[in-house]
Amino acid sequence: MAYSTRARQHCSHCASVRKERVAHSRPVTLFNGMRLNDALQIAGRIGGIGKRSVHLLCGFTPLHLQTYVKAYLRLRFPEVSIQVLPGLYGDLEGNLERALGQSADGVIAVIEWADLDQRLGFRGNGGWRSQTIDDIVAQTEEKCSRLQMKLEALAQKIPVTLISPTLPLPPLTQNSPVQTSKLELRLNSILGEFLLKVSGCGGIRLMSASRLAASSPHHTRHDVKMELATGFPYSLPHADELARLGVRCLFPDEPKKGLITDLDQTLWKGILGDLGANGVSWSVEDKSQIHALYQQLLDSLAESGVLVAIASKNDFSLVNEALSRTDLLIRPESIYPVEAGWWPKSESVRRILKAWNIGAGSVVYIDDSQMELSEVAEKFPQIECLLFPSSDSAGILALLKHLREIFGRTEIREEDRLRVASLRASNEMHTDVSEAHSDEFIARLQAKLTFEDSQAASGRAFELVNKTNQFNLNGLRFTEAEWHMRFSRPDSFLTTVSYEDRFGPLGRIAVVGGSCQGNHCVVDIFVLSCRAFSRHIEFQILRRLFEKSGAESVLFVFKPTERNGPIQAYLSQFGSLQNTAAGGLEVSSEAFVKACPKLHHEVIEKWTM
Amino acid sequence: MDDVEIREKLLKCFSAVFPELNPVDIQSANIENTSGWDSIAHVTLLTLVSEEFGVEVDFEKFESAISFSAFLILIAETASPGCS
């Protein structure tokens, strides 16, 4: 398979598991994850300037879990110092409360059954008599409700990854282990309800139990000997995997933005040129259902804002005919653009990237032909090229799961739904008339800008600031915790700007933030989505800033980056960027008025300063 | 596994837990003269020994192993040929 996933079910591990079953001893530490020795060395590496602090909160001794968490944080953030802050033994609730008073970039909270009631753990001596069962249930219910309050309070301030019980219950009921006990059902029901409630709270991400089970099988997780001797309950492989997924859940990778797919033997079964538009298939009846699953996944990705395009060596009109079939499971309007022709695939990819205006590193290309993948990879080494293994259903399913991982998002916003339509409209706008960008053309756009206060918790503003490269004042990136702290200052402001014109809405496309005191204004956040270039929006924002604040000058905390050429070009209209080392570029209202073109936007203001 | 191999592997374990010690110091290390040799470091050492030598470590037996040389003796007794 062309893509890499971390397989954890290896022969040596299975052999050790078999050995464990026979010997009834603790799991032997032969596995293919990160060895504790390696974790210690990685965790011990010295970081650079800056720091990432993470609370690791649990009721047991975190011991090796702490080492692994530190090691994975070190790998995730190689350039900063790493601090893992553990809590006190046996006091998960208190640990959550104490963390509320300390600043950090995130929390990994691990709940095991013993945290809900000590009698559900292996180090408790409260008895397993039948009359205690009701009390255990009542206690668990009460504890869940208290934990919910503590977690929600903490998540208002710091992002939290929550890990629900991963270990088995002790054999505390009189049922044979082959029969599920009522106690287990009741406990799972209470737990499920609790998890459902906290999952609805912004700022809390639950680690997937099924994802964990795929790489850390239940029977290899518990190290009872270690737990009884030291208070640390996990086998090394389990601690390793828990830490790896916990860090990934707390600090997910930036999701990919676009997917380019081939058609024949990929989006559908069959060769379009041979079979015609009605001959290609994606159904159970035609033994091509796996392509239907692929189409459904693409449709779902497109709905979440992922850009989907087609690169196919085919006759364009034939492709259009096939894409017009009413039984297609991806909506044709979700696909943009369609590049079909007899030129090299890399040429189609080049055109698609141009239409999308995004970097190759944010894109995935999928094809059933290794040769085509190689050709594209050679021209665009940053693109993740994935083989569609058309005759291997299990391989395709693995591919679909992989796509979910790399495109996974925690939240879908209105802008995500608008993305394809606005891109299409934007490209149409630029080809609509030859005088695009001219004053007359911009005047005819009937553009409307809406300025709104953005709360620190605004996900869209946070996302836009963290992902915009080209029109970005200084390339600053924030963690969620830093973002919250950044806007707790009373004199600070943060404004989002939405845009729409006769071609349709673009959604929230700009963020400007900073602080104002007297007649002086400092702007340290200024980003504009590349979809909204060439409409003079950046001038309107600055004009409103001058008018609203009454400032005589605005200091832009500008820093050149490799990719922020567009904002450099914009700012250089007001003064030289050569002398910006000492704090930024000062723009006077006079210099602004001199450089500002005629503006035609209708402006709706719902912001304060 | 011969004595040299055991010594080298054990040095690796000690070095991971006490990275500030050089190989010469490690060989004379004990709980008294090594800062940071607390209960957590001890359990980490035991787990590393288990990982490195592929053996199951008896916590009670190793509780009294409070020096590099004591570890060496106990591992030689525990590690049977071919178990790693």
Give me the residues of A, 204-233, that contact B with CB < 8 A: 225-226, 229-230, 232
Buried b (16+ CB within 10 A) or exposed e, A18-34: eebeeeeebbbbbbebb
Q: Rounded to an integer, what distance in angstroms lies between the CA atom of residue A323 and that of residue A411?
A: 29
Chain A residues within 8 A of B39 when measuring between CB atoms? 230
- What is the structure's pLDDT at A242? 98
B47, A236: Cβ pair inside 8 Å?
yes
Are the C-beta atoms of residues A607 and A451 closer than 8 Å to each other? Answer: yes
- Go through the domains of chain B in sequence order and give each one's CATH number: 3-78 (1.10.1200.10)
The reply to whether A291 touches chain B by the CB within 8 Å rule is: no
CA distance A45 to chain B (A): 10
CA distance A19 to chain B (A): 12
Of A46, A100, A43, nearest to A68 (Cα)? A43
Rounded to two decimals, the ipTM of the complex is 0.84
Q: Rounded to an integer, what distance in angstroms lies between the CA atom of residue A108 and that of residue A94?
A: 15
Least confident of A150-159, A437-446, A532-541, B45-54: A437-446
Q: Would you call A327 exposed, middle or buried from its count of C-beta atoms within 10 A (0-12, 13-18, 19+)?
A: exposed
Q: Rounded to an integer, what distance in angstroms lies between the CA atom of residue A150 and that of residue A144?
A: 10
Confidence of residue A345 (pLDDT cuts 50, 70, 90): very high
**Token pair listed for A91:** 């006091």
Residue of A nearest to B52 (CA): A37
Confidence of residue A4 (pLDDT cuts 50, 70, 90): very low
- What is the structure's pLDDT at B51? 92
Inter-axis angle of helices A36-43 and B39-53, nearest 10? 130
Interface of B with A (CB under 8 A): 12-13, 16-17, 19, 39-40, 43-44, 47-48, 50-52, 54, 56, 59
CA distance B48 to chain A (A): 6
Least confident of A104-118, A174-188, A575-589: A575-589
A40, B16: Cβ pair inside 8 Å?
yes
Chain B residues within 8 A of A37 when measuring between CB atoms? 12-13, 16, 48, 51-52
Q: Rounded to an integer, what distance in angstroms lies between the CA atom of residue A367 and that of residue A364?
A: 10
The reply to whether A238 touches chain B by the CB within 8 Å rule is: no
Query: Going by C-beta distance under 8 Å and a sequence separation of 6 or more, which residues neighbour residue A224?
Result: A26, A122, A233
- The DSSP secondary-structure symbol of A269 reads B
Summarize the confidence of residues A217-222 as an average pLDDT: 96
Ramachandran assignment for A387, one of left (phi > 0), alpha (psi -120 to 50 degrees), beta (any other): beta
Asked if the model's pLDDT at residue A148 lies above 80, the reply is yes
Q: Rounded to an integer, what distance in angstroms lies between the CA atom of residue B74 and that of residue A538?
A: 72
Chain A residues within 8 A of B51 when measuring between CB atoms? 29, 35-37, 236
pLDDT in tens, A9-48: 333 333 333 333 333 334 444 446 899 999 999 999 888 7
Query: Going by C-beta distance under 8 Å and a sequence separation of 6 or more, which residues neighbour residue B42?
Result: none
Helix ranges (DSSP H) in A468-536: 480-486
Summarize the confidence of residues A458-482 as an average pLDDT: 86
Summarize the confidence of residues A329-344 as an average pLDDT: 93
Least confident of A3-7, A519-523, A548-552: A3-7
CA distance B70 to chain A (A): 20
pLDDT in tens, A504-524: 788 889 999 998 877 789 999
Are the C-beta atoms of residues A407 and A301 closer than 8 Å to each other? Answer: yes
SS (H, E, C) A187-198: HHHHHHHHHHHH
DSSP string over A544-577: HHHHHH--SEEEE-----SS-HHHHHHHTTTS-G
- Pairing mode, strands A520-528 and A553-556: parallel
Cis status of the peptide bond prior to A381, with omega within 30 of 0: no
Confidence of residue A204 (pLDDT cuts 50, 70, 90): very high
Residue of B nearest to A25 (CA): B56
pLDDT in tens, A269-325: 999 998 999 999 999 999 999 999 999 999 999 998 899 999 999 999 999 999 999
- What is the structure's pLDDT at A19? 36
Are the C-beta atoms of residues A393 and A289 closer than 8 Å to each other? Answer: no
Helix ranges (DSSP H) in A236-324: 236-250, 272-275, 289-303, 316-323
- Go through the domains of chain A in sequence order and give each one's CATH number: 22-250 (3.40.50.1110), 258-407 (3.40.50.1000), 432-606 (3.40.630.30)
> Could you tell me the pTM of the whole model?
0.74
Summarize the confidence of residues A231-239 as an average pLDDT: 96
Helix ranges (DSSP H) in A58-161: 63-76, 92-100, 113-116, 133-155
Mean pLDDT of chain A: 87
Q: Which of A30, A34, A40 best tests the B interface by mutation, with the highest count of B CBs <10 A?
A: A40
| C-alpha of A56 from chain center | 21
B43, A230: Cβ pair inside 8 Å?
yes
The reply to whether A37 touches chain B by the CB within 8 Å rule is: yes
Q: Which of B10, B18, B51 best tests the A interface by mutation, with the highest count of A CBs <10 A?
A: B51
B19, A63: Cβ pair inside 8 Å?
no
The reply to whether A25 touches chain B by the CB within 8 Å rule is: yes
CA distance B81 to chain A (A): 16
Q: Rounded to an integer, what distance in angstroms lies between the CA atom of residue A99 and that of residue A54?
A: 10
